[in-house]
Amino acid sequence: MLQVKHLLAEKGHDVHTIGPDAPVLEAIRSMAERHIGALLVMRGDELVGIVSERDYARKVILLGRHSDDTPVNEIMSPNVLTVGPEDTVETCMRLCTDRRVRHLPVVESRKVVGLVSIGDLVKAVISEQSTQIEQLERYIAG
């Protein structure tokens, strides 16, 4: 069974973050430059939230706020759903589906060690299924 630690070993442990007092405009620029949909909001080593393009659209644009004078902590999602390195891809997929989230910070011993997205999870499932199909085809042809 594929686990989060296997995904991180392949994709890396890089995590893009922003401080809670930074302006939303800085967060949006950072996401655009990196072609990502969310940033972890960190106060030092402490995970205090997550801010996504969805938060920006719903809590800044639709409410007529200004990106340059609204701090990230006013639009972030403070109750972050996290997973551990030992959690399975299946568990993560279920969490993303049930809780309607696209990003799961990976936490080990209260420290953020990575981030997996719904895209990472789907890619892993497709790869695993392709491998199983190839093995079955070889077995049948064999």
Per the DSSP assignment, residues forming a β-bridge with 123 are: none
Residue 83 sits in a domain whose CATH number is 3.10.580.10
In the chain the first and final C-alpha atoms are separated, in Å, by 25
Q: Which parts of the chain sit beneath pLDDT 70?
A: none
Number of domains comprising the chain: 1
- Pair of tokens at residue 34: 């990196």
pTM: 0.88
The residue range of the domain holding 134 is 4-141
pLDDT digits (tens, 9 = 90+) for 31-49: 999 999 999 999 999 999 9
Q: In three state form, how does the secondary structure of the chain look? A: CCEHHHHHHHHCCCCCEECCCCEHHHHHHHHHHHCCCEEEEEECCEEEEEEEHHHHHHHHHCCCCCCCCCEHHHCCECCCCCECCCCEHHHHHHHHHHHCCCEEEEEECCEEEEEEEHHHHHHHHHHHHHHHHHHHHHHHHC
Q: What are phi and psi of 91, to 5 degrees?
A: -60, -45
Res 113: pLDDT: 97
Res 7: pLDDT: 95
